[in-house]
């Protein structure tokens, strides 16, 4: 299996992508092809030392910054993002992994790879650390406007991912809403509720925002606007709390000692809630495998993202999504 | 000025509503009328001791629980919520304060009081503690489905509240979205962006979920579905973090000592982020003043909620909203 890795992606770029992906190649018996500025990648790979027979490079000299809009990205024919995705399209790589500009990867992968047959919209899905393990939230931002049928498809794709990759049989599926009763929600969720109820899913009904972290459901389905706001709000709360804690605690000598004694533990908590550790977000329903890591990723997160890409391919998630969607037919169509 | 207080509301009921509201009456030169089960309220008031000449009771024997749906509430003609709101309607109280079932208060106040002239939908607004002070988020759940014009009205009402009650002149207004660029968002926010841009507001554009806690804007406008999810996600994150911290830290002796040394500081942080301290959510655009506190409120929060109700009335927020809405006309209508 060969995984294409965007060597230029992430806030730390080559510093993390090269060692992270190289470790993933070694540990998982994979070939990795680094995509990006060859002149910068080659010395970084050489510095790694050891056996490099499974690492290769494809030159893609144009840079896409985290701030670039999709229009800028579209014009760059030789960006690492575009070239990497094209490798998947051409069958020269089994999957593409990037820690770069999420909007750019979502846009380009949709343009180049398209969706699986029967899928309306690919969904960006992310594993969220909760009190009881990981919950998959989707969509977290690929589709700002969704129809009820889209949400039903997201549920099926999320189910397949959790079953195949996370080995969680018959995962529970919930709908993000503003109250548990069926009557609570907006027009979209009320219609989606009906579709989810009649689909061949372990649908447990609506959940509220607070349940994103309670571990109540294995999969939580949402339109991409709401899902993105939920995710970004979480980031904001965590950052604000840690910031307040630092500010509050450094005011007082005893509290500082207290902090010192607790430091390792607080770090461990931060790591647990910091989803950049979990590898990355998966685009589900795309006609090709594409994993997008957090810009803040470290090399360990890159390693995890590459391993996730391997699992995604090895466990034939794409085929299973196609099968499940075909089998269950979109619930809406069945009614028509 | 006379404020009607739902004596039965909140998880702790009379234990917190009676002393909290009585203190507010004393400190702010107010009359308070307690609404609820008279036989329970009277002994609690007597136990307070001191001068009780400004406290009175109106009997409303039917209980509304936090779990009651609006249909159950509608049937209860003698609940403290319905009777309290009716007092405002009849001019026998200047405002109503409840720590009870939010959905029930929103529903009944809308039914009984109606909206101010020119207001499409009343918005539930809440002050959120941020790194730089308080930000007003609205709507946090009164309206799951909104139109662009509703969001423009929310912005104007939020502006008036911040100017009058929080004394923040020309407050900055932002739109909750999934990217800062005008092009980011869903159909609703894209249309709302246009209206907000042309309204007589200090509109600073889109913000993302993480900015809810950064203090970037004085007012953040959102449909009630998204706003509610954002708020509940925040609650979930805070609870989960504190839960994880407790679990992690009690494993280790040194960490426990560290926690002990930091305890006061952590509590202070928790208090800062716990919005139940800030008095309550305001229904803006209603034809009457109605403040809804968090069910978890303590007596201090009740006191703050009553004081907030007083400010709301004293600073003539209702009149100013009517004026501003009249002056700016709905931007949409101006175009028609």
Provide the pLDDT for residue A131. 83
What would the pLDDT profile of A198-221 be if each residue is shown by its tens digit?
Answer: 999 999 999 999 999 999 999 999
What are the structure tokens assigned to A24, written together? 């993933």
Could you give the CA distance from residue B66 to residue B184 in angstroms, rounded to a whole number? 37
**For residue B246, how many other CB atoms are within 10 A of its CB?**
10
Residue A182 inside a domain? The answer is yes
Interface contact A212-B226, CB threshold 8 A: no
Residue A323 has pLDDT above 80, yes or no: yes
A143 and A100 in a common domain: no
The DSSP secondary-structure symbol of A331 reads H
B218 and B172 in a common domain: yes
Of the partner residues A183, A230, A255, the one whose CB lies closest to the CB of residue B230: A230
- How many Cα atoms occupy the beta-carbon half-sphere of A13 within 13 Å? 12
Provide the pLDDT for residue B51. 85
First-to-last C-alpha distance (Å) of chain B? 42
**Helix/strand/coil percent split, chain A, to 5:** 50, 20, 30
Residue A108 inside a domain? The answer is yes
Could you give the CA distance from residue A101 to residue A80 in angstroms, rounded to a whole number? 11
Provide the pLDDT for residue B238. 83
Q: Which residues contact A292 (CB under 8 A, 6 or more apart)?
A: A97, A98, A99, A100, A102, A105, A106, A124, A280, A281, A282, A283
| Percentage with pLDDT > 70 across chain A | 89
Of the partner residues B187, B241, B255, the one whose CB lies closest to the CB of residue A273: B241
Residue A336 inside a domain? The answer is no
B277 class by beta-carbon count within 10 Å (0-12 exposed, 13-18 middle, 19+ buried): middle
Residues A139-153 have a mean pLDDT of 96
Search chain A and give the residue with CA nearest B236. A210
Q: What is the pTM of this model?
A: 0.90
Could you give the CA distance from residue A138 to residue A150 in angstroms, rounded to a whole number? 11
Look over chain A and give the mean of its residue pLDDT values, rounded to a whole number.
89
Provide the pLDDT for residue B335. 39
First-to-last C-alpha distance (Å) of chain A? 42
Of the partner residues B225, B243, B273, the one whose CB lies closest to the CB of residue A226: B225
Domain span at residue A81?
2-115+285-315
Q: What distances in angstroms separate CA B177 from CA A240, B129, B214, B221, one per listed residue?
A: 19, 20, 15, 9
Residues A186-193 have a mean pLDDT of 97
Of the partner residues A212, A257, A273, the one whose CB lies closest to the CB of residue B233: A212
Of the partner residues B176, B237, B262, the one whose CB lies closest to the CB of residue A229: B176
A239 and A255 in a common domain: yes
Search chain A and give the residue with CA nearest B103. A179
A138 and A255 in a common domain: yes
Q: Which residues contact A184 (CB under 8 A, 6 or more apart)?
A: A177, A178, A206, B144
Interface contact A265-B255, CB threshold 8 A: yes
A223 and A165 in a common domain: yes
A7 and A103 in a common domain: yes
Could you give the CA distance from residue B136 to residue B128 in angstroms, rounded to a whole number? 6
Scored b (16 or more CB within 10 A) or e, A286-310 reads bbbbbbbbbeebbbbbbbbbbbbbb
Could you give the CA distance from residue B59 to residue B67 in angstroms, rounded to a whole number? 22
B contact residues 315-334, partner A, Cβ 8 Å cutoff: none
3-state secondary structure of A160: helix
3-state secondary structure of A173: strand
The DSSP secondary-structure symbol of A79 reads B
What are the structure tokens assigned to A181, written together? 């009763």
A contact residues 260-319, partner B, Cβ 8 Å cutoff: 260-262, 264-266, 268-269, 272-273
For tokens 């703050």, the residue is B304
- Structural domains counted in chain A: 2
Q: Are A205 and A180 in contact (CB under 8 A)?
A: yes
Q: What distances in angstroms separate CA B147 from CA A104, B173, B224, B284, one per listed residue?
A: 30, 18, 11, 17
Interface contact B240-A141, CB threshold 8 A: no
Could you give the CA distance from residue A325 to residue A115 in angstroms, rounded to a whole number? 13
Q: Are B131 and B119 in contact (CB under 8 A)?
A: no
What would the pLDDT profile of A48-102 be if each residue is shown by its tens digit?
Answer: 988 889 999 999 998 777 777 777 778 888 999 999 999 999 999 999 999 988 8
3-state secondary structure of A114: coil
A contact residues 38-67, partner B, Cβ 8 Å cutoff: none
Q: Which residues of A touch B262 (CB under 8 A)?
A: 249, 255, 258-259, 262
Residue B65 inside a domain? The answer is yes
Residue B321 inside a domain? The answer is no
Q: Is A242 on the interface with B (CB under 8 A)?
A: no
- Which of A67, A232, A253, A294 to mutate to probe the B interface, most B CBs <10 Å? A232
Provide the pLDDT for residue A270. 66
Mean pLDDT by 10 residues, chain B (336 residues): 94 92 94 96 92 94 78 85 97 96 92 94 93 92 96 97 96 96 93 95 97 95 97 89 75 69 68 65 95 88 94 95 80 44
Q: Are B41 and B14 in contact (CB under 8 A)?
A: yes
Q: Are B138 and B154 in contact (CB under 8 A)?
A: yes
Provide the pLDDT for residue A335. 39
Task: Calculate the dihedral angle through the C-alpha atoms of A124, A155, A122, A7, rounding to the nearest 10 degrees.
Answer: 30
Residue A142 has pLDDT above 80, yes or no: yes
pLDDT band at A286 (very low <50, low <70, confident <90, very high): very high
For tokens 């709905």, the residue is B330
A187 and A93 in a common domain: no
| Least Cα separation, residue A106 to chain B (angstroms) | 14
What would the pLDDT profile of A217-236 be if each residue is shown by its tens digit?
Answer: 999 999 999 999 999 999 89
Interface contact A261-B261, CB threshold 8 A: yes
Q: Are A81 and A101 in contact (CB under 8 A)?
A: yes
Could you give the CA distance from residue A45 to residue A55 in angstroms, rounded to a whole number? 8
- Please report, for the domain that includes residue A41, its CATH number: 3.40.718.10
Residue B289 inside a domain? The answer is yes
| Least Cα separation, residue A104 to chain B (angstroms) | 13
Of the partner residues B69, B179, B230, the one whose CB lies closest to the CB of residue A209: B230
Q: Is A102 on the interface with B (CB under 8 A)?
A: no
Q: Are A325 and A118 in contact (CB under 8 A)?
A: yes
The DSSP secondary-structure symbol of B134 reads E
Q: Are A210 and A180 in contact (CB under 8 A)?
A: no
Question: Which residues partner with A291 through β-bridges?
Answer: A97, A282
Interface contact B230-A229, CB threshold 8 A: yes
Interface contact A225-B178, CB threshold 8 A: yes
Task: Calculate the dihedral angle through the C-alpha atoms of B99, B100, B105, B107, rounding to the nearest 10 degrees.
Answer: 150
Residues A258-278 have a mean pLDDT of 66
Pairwise pLDDT comparison (B64 vs A142), residue with the higher score: A142
Q: Which residues of B touch A261 (CB under 8 A)?
A: 254-255, 257-258, 261
B179 and B79 in a common domain: no
Residue A290 has pLDDT above 90, yes or no: yes
Search chain B and give the residue with CA nearest A184. B144
Q: Are A279 and A291 in contact (CB under 8 A)?
A: yes
Last residue of a domain, which of A224, A256, A275?
A275
A223 and A84 in a common domain: no
Of residues B111, B154, B144, the one with CA closest to residue B324: B154
Residue B323 inside a domain? The answer is no
Of residues A83, A86, A145, A133, the one with CA closest to residue A113: A86
Strand blocks (E) in chain B = 2-6, 31-36, 55-59, 95-98, 123-130, 133-138, 172-176, 202-207, 219-221, 281-284, 289-292
A100 and A207 in a common domain: no
Residue B332 inside a domain? The answer is no
Interface contact B265-A249, CB threshold 8 A: yes
Could you give the CA distance from residue B236 to residue A214 in angstroms, rounded to a whole number? 7
A67 class by beta-carbon count within 10 Å (0-12 exposed, 13-18 middle, 19+ buried): exposed
Provide the pLDDT for residue B271. 67
* Cis, peptide link before residue B172, omega less than 30° from 0: no
Provide the pLDDT for residue B10. 83
B146 and B178 in a common domain: yes
B164 and B265 in a common domain: yes
Q: Which residues contact B259 (CB under 8 A, 6 or more apart)?
A: A258, A262, B249, B266
3-state secondary structure of B284: strand
Long-range contacts at A329-335 (CB < 8 A, ≥ 24 apart): A330/A118, A330/A149, A330/A152, A330/A153, A331/A149, A331/A152, A331/A195, A331/A196, A331/A198, A331/A199, A332/A148, A332/A149, A332/A152, A332/A195, A334/A198
């Amino acid at each position: 299996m060969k995984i294409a890795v965007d060597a230029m992606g992430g806030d730390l770029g080559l510093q993390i992508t090269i060692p992270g992906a190289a470790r993933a190649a070694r540990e998982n018996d994979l070939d990795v092809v680094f995509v990006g500025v060859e002149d910068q990648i080659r010395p970084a790979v050489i510095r790694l030392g050891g056996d490099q027979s499974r690492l290769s490079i494809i030159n893609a000299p144009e840079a896409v910054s985290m701030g670039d809009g999709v229009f800028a990205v579209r014009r760059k024919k030789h960006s690492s993002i575009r070239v990497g995705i094209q490798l998947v399209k051409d069958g020269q790589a089994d999957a593409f992994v990037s820690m770069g500009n999420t909007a750019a990867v979502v846009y380009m992968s949709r343009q180049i790879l398209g969706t699986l047959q029967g899928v309306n919209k690919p969904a960006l899905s992310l594993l969220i650390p909760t009190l009881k393990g990981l919950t998959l939230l989707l969509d977290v931002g690929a589709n700002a406007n969704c129809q009820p049928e889209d949400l039903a498809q997201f549920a099926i794709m999320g189910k397949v991912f959790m079953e195949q990759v996370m080995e969680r049989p018959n995962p529970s599926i919930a709908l993000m809403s503003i109250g548990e009763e069926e009557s609570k929600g907006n027009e979209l969720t009320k219609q989606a509720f009906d579709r989810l109820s009649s689909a061949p899913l372990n649908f447990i009904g609506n959940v509220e925002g607070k349940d994103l972290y309670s571990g109540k459901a294995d999969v939580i389905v949402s339109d991409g606007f709401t899902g993105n706001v939920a995710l970004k709000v979480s980031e904001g709360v965590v950052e604000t709390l840690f910031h307040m804690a630092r500010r509050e605690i450094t005011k007082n000598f005893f509290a500082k000692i207290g902090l010192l004694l607790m430091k390792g533990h607080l770090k461990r908590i931060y790591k647990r809630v910091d989803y950049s550790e979990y590898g990355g977000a998966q685009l589900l329903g795309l006609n090709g495998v594409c994993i997008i890591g957090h810009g803040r990723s470290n090399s360990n997160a890159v390693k995890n993202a590459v391993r996730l890409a391997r699992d995604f391919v090895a466990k034939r998630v794409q085929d299973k999504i196609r099968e499940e969607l075909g089998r269950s037919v979109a619930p809406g169509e069945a009614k028509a």
